[in-house]
């Protein structure tokens, strides 16, 4: 499972997963109860994703979020 260190990495993962599943922005947006334009904005400006929206989007895409301890080398990178 990929590790994420920035909102941009999260967007790449989420967009890639959506496309791999063959889902359009409109289909995913409808499942989330938002407009296609809003989903497009969230994909291009992922820093605007709220935590609850991120969880919902991950769920629609069959993903889950996991938090864990970083290895010391990963902490030093930032």
Q: What is the topology classification, in CATH, of domain 7-61?
A: 434 Repressor (Amino-terminal Domain) (1.10.260)
What's the pLDDT tens digit per position in 10-26? 999 999 999 999 999 99
Question: What's the mean pLDDT when you consider all of the chain?
Answer: 91
The whole-number average pLDDT for the span 48-67 is 95
pLDDT at 77 over 80: no
Integer angstrom CA distances of residue 18 from 14, 28, 51, 69, 73 = 6, 8, 18, 28, 31
């Amino acid at each position: 499972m990929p590790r994420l260190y920035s909102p941009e990495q999260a967007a790449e993962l989420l967009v890639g997963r959506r496309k791999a599943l063959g889902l359009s922005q409109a289909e995913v947006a409808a499942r989330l109860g938002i407009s296609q334009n809003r989903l497009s904005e969230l994909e291009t400006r992922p820093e605007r994703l709220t935590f609850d929206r991120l969880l919902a989007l991950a769920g629609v895409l069959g993903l889950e979020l996991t938090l864990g301890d970083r290895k010391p080398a990963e902490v030093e990178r930032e």
